[in-house]
Structure 1
Amino acid sequence: MLTGFPILSTLIWLPIVGGLLVLFAGRNNPTLAKWLSLFTVGLTFILSIPLWTEFDSTTASMQFVENVPWIPMFNVNYHLGIDGLSMPLILLTTFTQVLVIVSAWDVIKERVEQYMGAFLIM
């Protein structure tokens, strides 16, 4: 199912792009900032579930590997992959993001877009 799709890059960059969107679109509209944040972390969590279902725990090699030349002159690559230890941590992190946004929903009352945006970018 995930063959050729850069799922790890998506899981990394989606919250960052969502955080920037929340910072700019959520200005003077805390409700929009909250909903954009929830949508972003919800989508990130949903995208992490196929990693769990398609992960082969019988092999010790890296899985879902992405390797793209970044600075070829210096032989620097953008290289991502998942091993057996990082797989549950990815799922835990994406689920914790949802919990943080939901728990901050009524608690954060001032500068909501800054809180939500900074959390997503972090």
Structure 2
Amino acid sequence: MCLFCKIIDGEIPNKTVHENEEFLCFHDINPAAKIHVLIIPKKHYDSFDVIKPELMANMTKFIHEVADKLDVRENGYRIITNIKEHGGQEVNHLHIHLLAGEYVGRLVGAKK
């Protein structure tokens, strides 16, 4: 069983921000910004590469709810998902990082 499945099952404690029947959002234990949360589906999917578009539609709505709950929509936030080894994925369970609460930089090559 993967790390995030153990969190979902309650075997590993977390600081929950928001949850519903399909998704869970909790604080990252190694934050890269003032606000750094992880958003995961409660059903195991290895990565973004294997999900159906319907799941992302539901996840988008959930991410909006999280952003509202954290009060970060006005100033902005970054969402990131890493896919497989070359994409930097460390836990093989689909997860979205939401970073906010301060300027979180810009992507390489992006114009400011």
Q: Give the TM-score normalised by the residue count of structure 2.
A: 0.30
Report which of the two has the higher share of strand: 2
Larger Rg: 1
Q: Which has the higher contact order (CA 8 A, sep 6+)?
A: 1
Q: Give the TM-score normalised by the residue count of structure 1.
A: 0.29
